[in-house]
Amino acid sequence: MTASISPEVRALMRPAAAALEPYDPAFKPTRINLSANENTYPMPPAVRTAIDAALAATPTNRYPVALSDELRSAIAEWHGVSADRVIVGNGGDELLFNLFLAFGGPARPLVTCPPTFSVYALYAGLVDTPVTSVERDHDTYELDVDAVVEAARTANLVIVTTPNNPTGGLFPHEGIARVCEACPGIVLADEAYIEFGGEGASCEGLLDTYDNLAVLHTMSKAFQMAGVRLGYVLADPSVVAALAAVRQPYSVNVLSQAAALVGVRMRDEFAPSIARIVSERSRLAAGLDRLAPLGVRTWPSAANFLLVRLPNAAQVRARLRDECSILVRDFSSTPGLADCLRVTVGTPEENDEVVAAITSILSEA
Ligand code: PMP
């Protein structure tokens, strides 16, 4: 448990920081954890063995190579770009923070499309960045691409999240291209979940055309390394240099660099579990859609989670946790997401359990 900030300490804080509370991931140990869009599949044994060997061979007495040259080159080769177009960070979160440090601030507006990943507004607030919200439709969660393009014309930073967290849909490539053309600033495509979107889902092909586009990826989801904390951005060398200028010099530790390098080199080993998650996503959606007579609704997802609306969502989520030891994320108090929960796609057994538990709770009434 984190203590709360005392009034005396709060009075010492910068106003933008004093408006905040410590981040609460609403985590509680449970038997089944489908709350943070982690990958609940076991690590392929060959990858785990190779990571263990790499960690054992990594000295810890020296500072890391600042920009993680070896890892950076391996990522560059993977994506068919030069190494100066890649920057790694301590999770995608650090790179998002650095993006705001470099390109945000007063009079440098950000455009986002809520409901979306809450971290953008948090970081924007921390560095006093004005936010222009182009809301998604609150029934379909579809984007108004024309409105995003219009808003982009006066933005210093636009974030398009594809697939979007927590609503699950992709941002069309032609829309991203139009936003890049309209925006005088930087456009970040946050593709944290892109590997679950299928062949051709990534917009990284647009990097050749638009030098103001940056694409964020992470090893946390498809590559089962949320605990390693390794994300990367692909962008024009000059944008990469700007992100390098504001970063903490040694933010990615040697053990994370070593583990992620193995993950990148052995990336094909993860294909079976990615395919499994994609097929389980359909099965989970079908299982939940069968509960439509009980008031359950889902939306199409290209990610490793589903947004689910159901009656009394906050209460159902608490009962899933307390009576069934199943943790899912409650979004019911987020504007535009009334009665919505987000359920990460788990293993077949986990998915069956979550459907059975929701069925039994909703059937009681
Ligand atoms: N972007 C989105 C949309 C996310 O949902 C997340 C993780 N929750 C991230 C970025 C950052 O992921 P990480 O820091 O684990 O790389």
Q: Which residue's CA is the nearest one to ligand 1's atom 12?
A: 92
Q: What pLDDT score was predicted for residue 293?
A: 97
Q: What pLDDT score was predicted for residue 66?
A: 86
Q: CB of 190 closer than 6 A to ligand 1?
A: yes
The pair of three-digit structure tokens given for residue 363, joined into one six-digit string: 């059937």
d(Cα 110, Cα 197) in Å, to the nearest integer? Answer: 26
Q: Please check the confidence at residue 158 and state whether its pLDDT lies above 80.
A: yes
User: If DSSP codes are grouped into helix, strand and coil, which group holds residue 1?
Assistant: coil
For residue 220, the ligand 1 atom closest to its alpha carbon is: 15
User: If DSSP codes are grouped into helix, strand and coil, which group holds residue 51?
Assistant: helix
The closest of 55, 59, 86, 46 to 70, measured between CA atoms, is: 86
Q: What pLDDT score was predicted for residue 27?
A: 75
CA distances from 127 to 3, 218, 241, 261 (A): 24, 24, 20, 32
Percent of the chain scoring above 70 in pLDDT: 99
Residue 365 banded pLDDT, cuts 50, 70, 90: low
What is the pLDDT of the chain when averaged over all its residues? Answer: 96
Q: Which helix (H) or strand (E) holds 321?
A: helix 313-324
Q: What pLDDT score was predicted for residue 28?
A: 80
The closest of 54, 16, 38, 14 to 262, measured between CA atoms, is: 54
83-124 confidence digits (pLDDT tens): 999 999 999 999 999 999 999 999 999 999 999 999 999 999
| Ligand 1 mean position, distance from CA 292 (Å) | 30
Q: What pLDDT score was predicted for residue 3?
A: 81
The closest of 287, 308, 285 to 296, measured between CA atoms, is: 308
Q: CB of 226 closer than 6 A to ligand 1?
A: yes
Q: Please check the confidence at residue 231 and state whether its pLDDT lies above 90.
A: yes
298-326 confidence digits (pLDDT tens): 999 999 999 999 999 999 999 999 999 99
d(Cα 163, Cα 196) in Å, to the nearest integer? Answer: 9
Q: Which residue's CA is the nearest one to ligand 1's atom 1?
A: 192
Q: Exposure string (b/e) for 212-223, b if CB count within 10 Å is 16 or more?
A: bbbbbbbbbbbb
| Ligand 1 mean position, distance from CA 293 (Å) | 34
The closest of 98, 38, 33, 77 to 252, measured between CA atoms, is: 98
Residue 21 banded pLDDT, cuts 50, 70, 90: confident
Q: Please check the confidence at residue 24 and state whether its pLDDT lies above 80.
A: no
234-289 confidence digits (pLDDT tens): 999 999 999 999 999 999 999 999 999 999 999 999 999 999 999 999 999 999 99
For residue 231, the ligand 1 atom closest to its alpha carbon is: 16
Mean pLDDT for the stretch of residues 170-183? 98
Q: Which residue has the tokens 């990943």?
A: 117
Q: Please check the confidence at residue 22 and state whether its pLDDT lies above 90.
A: no
Let me know: does 156 contact 117? Beta carbons within 8 Å. Answer: no
Helix, strand and coil content of the chain, in percent to the nearest 5, comes to 45, 15, 45
The pair of three-digit structure tokens given for residue 252, joined into one six-digit string: 């990615």
For residue 117, the ligand 1 atom closest to its alpha carbon is: 3
The closest of 297, 282, 293, 259 to 345, measured between CA atoms, is: 282
For residue 165, the ligand 1 atom closest to its alpha carbon is: 3
Mean pLDDT for the stretch of residues 354-363? 97
| Ligand 1 mean position, distance from CA 304 (Å) | 12
Q: CB of 38 closer than 6 A to ligand 1?
A: no
Q: What is the DSSP letter of 189?
A: E
The pair of three-digit structure tokens given for residue 292, joined into one six-digit string: 């439509």
Let me know: does 160 contact 136? Beta carbons within 8 Å. Answer: no
d(Cα 270, Cα 265) in Å, to the nearest integer? Answer: 11
Let me know: does 299 contact 364? Beta carbons within 8 Å. Answer: no
Q: pTM for this structure?
A: 0.97
Amino acid identity of residue 101, one-letter, is L
Residue scoring higher pLDDT (27 or 61): 61
d(Cα 324, Cα 313) in Å, to the nearest integer? Answer: 15
Ligand 1 probe mutation, 164, 165, 304, 345, most atoms within 8 A of CB: 165
282-303 confidence digits (pLDDT tens): 999 999 999 999 999 999 999 9
d(Cα 266, Cα 44) in Å, to the nearest integer? Answer: 10
d(Cα 151, Cα 115) in Å, to the nearest integer? Answer: 17
| Ligand 1 mean position, distance from CA 50 (Å) | 25
Q: Please check the confidence at residue 356 and state whether its pLDDT lies above 80.
A: yes
| Ligand 1 mean position, distance from CA 130 (Å) | 22
Ligand 1 probe mutation, 119, 225, 304, most atoms within 8 A of CB: 119
d(Cα 228, Cα 206) in Å, to the nearest integer? Answer: 29
Q: What is the 3-state secondary structure (H, E, C) of 121-184?
A: HHHHHHCCCCEEECCCCCCCCCCCHHHHHHHHCCCCEEEEECCCCCCCCCCCHHHHHHHHHHCC
Kindly give the pairing relationship between strand 186-190 and strand 329-330. unpaired
CA distances from 274 to 69, 199, 202, 347 (A): 28, 12, 15, 11
Residue 1 banded pLDDT, cuts 50, 70, 90: low
